[in-house]
Structure 1
Amino acid sequence: MMAFEGVDTGAIDFEDVPWVPYLPYTPDAHVKLVKADPVRGETITFLKVPAGMALPKHHHSGTVIVYTIKGAWRYLEHDWVATPGSVVFETASSAHTAVAVEGHGDEIVTLNITVGELIYLDDKDQVLAIESWRTMVDRYLDYCSAQGIEPRDVTSFAA
């Protein structure tokens, strides 16, 4: 039997994964890391941000798919507004500034499938930080340790 044949379909309970503050950027935005794939450099996360908040401008080294669950958000560099049910496909090498739009509830919640790195930029497009599957896993493990939570192996193909 091949190794992949032994991998079974798994389901992850949303409530079993903690909301982790998106530090060092802000204590007000939170990320829920569902999966991190070190082979493909992909993460599956939920993001929760208060209405009206802007996150730092960022550049994508890979593609990103964002499904809006709650609230509304946009990029300062684009005219559209994503609302619940919207799917945004972000191409590799794109850069933009996310803003949670006010007037659509008190927060936004999105599901994000990110391939590659997020490179955070300052107002002069100088690199502030680089996020990857590894930094997301480290943030999750550090949070679990500080809170006394038993972490799940988010890199495993099993649930």
Structure 2
Amino acid sequence: MTNAEPRAATTIDERWQPYRRPQPAEAHPELVIAAAVPQDERVFVPIEENVWFRPLLLSASSGYWMSVLRVRRAGVLSRHRHPQPVHGYVIKGSWRYLEHDWEAREGGYVYEAPGETHTLVVDPHVEEMITLFQVNGTMIYVDPDGAVTGFDDVFTRIDKCRAHYAACGLGADYVDQFIR
């Protein structure tokens, strides 16, 4: 037994009532995106020829991003290392890493441990690959021997979005809806 007094039973009607107190003033509103894979092609930001990402959440406050990666060609996309974990869910098609013997297929989930370096490949039989990724921290691009050739983080992704949305007519501030 505890010293706490028993709580009054909650009625069924009360369970269906929304929270009545104010939310914290500093809390950002939820971000709800009806179509993660949009109909408007302009929402996809080009990375290179036939490779795009669609931002879902660009967390400047926590240093990660959620995006949909779309690839419409076969080939090597990037060799990179992550100092933080990455999560992926394959929506369409498939992809793999040259360094492993598994293939990420439609409906599959991939967890990438911090510190690993790998080379993302889309094979010739894949017409289109679409994968939801959560990338924490930085993607560090490297050559086959590990020499750094570039990087991406949430801030470079925001910059790429701003430039693309300004150029395609959506407006540079279109990206602001995804920033938290």
Tell me if TM exceeds 0.5.
Answer: yes
SS in structure 2 of the partner of residue 138 of structure 1: helix
* Alignment correspondent of 1:84: 106
Q: Quick one: distance in 1 between partners of 2:124 and 2:104?
A: 12
Asked if the contact 2:86–2:136 (Cα under 8 Å) also holds between the matched residues in 1, the reply is yes
Q: Quick one: distance in 1 between partners of 2:89 and 2:33?
A: 18
How much identity, in percent, do the aligned residues show?
Answer: 29
Structure 1 runs not aligned, ≥5 long: none
* Alignment correspondent of 1:130: 151
Q: Quick one: distance in 2 between partners of 1:36 and 1:10?
A: 11
Q: Does 1:40 align with 2:62?
A: yes
Q: Does 1:94 align with 2:116?
A: yes
Write out aligned runs for 1:3-152 (5 A). 3=25, 7-14=28-35, 15=38, 18-22=43-47, 26-103=48-125, 105-150=126-171, 151-152=174-175
- How big is the shift at 1:8? 4.0
1:61-90 alpha-carbon deviations (Å, 9 max, x no partner): 111001001111110000001111110000
Question: Among 147, 155, 158, which residue is 2:179 paired with?
Answer: 155
SS in structure 1 of the partner of residue 159 of structure 2: helix
SS in structure 1 of the partner of residue 160 of structure 2: helix
Asked if the contact 2:165–2:175 (Cα under 8 Å) also holds between the matched residues in 1, the reply is no
- How big is the shift at 1:9? 3.3
Structure 2 runs not aligned, ≥5 long: 1-21
- How big is the shift at 1:3? 2.8
- Identify which of structures 1 and 2 has the higher relative contact order when contacts are C-alpha pairs closer than 8 Å and 6+ apart: 1
1:30-88 alpha-carbon deviations (Å, 9 max, x no partner): 11111111121110000011242211210001110010011111100000011111100
- Which amino acid counterpart does residue 45 of structure 2 have in structure 1? V
Asked if the contact 2:161–2:175 (Cα under 8 Å) also holds between the matched residues in 1, the reply is no
* Alignment correspondent of 2:9: none
Asked if the contact 1:71–1:101 (Cα under 8 Å) also holds between the matched residues in 2, the reply is no
- Which amino acid counterpart does residue 73 of structure 1 have in structure 2? W
Q: Cα RMSD between the aligned structures?
A: 1.7
Q: Quick one: distance in 2 between partners of 1:31 and 1:121?
A: 20
Moved over 4 A (4+): none
Q: Which has the larger radius of gyration?
A: 2
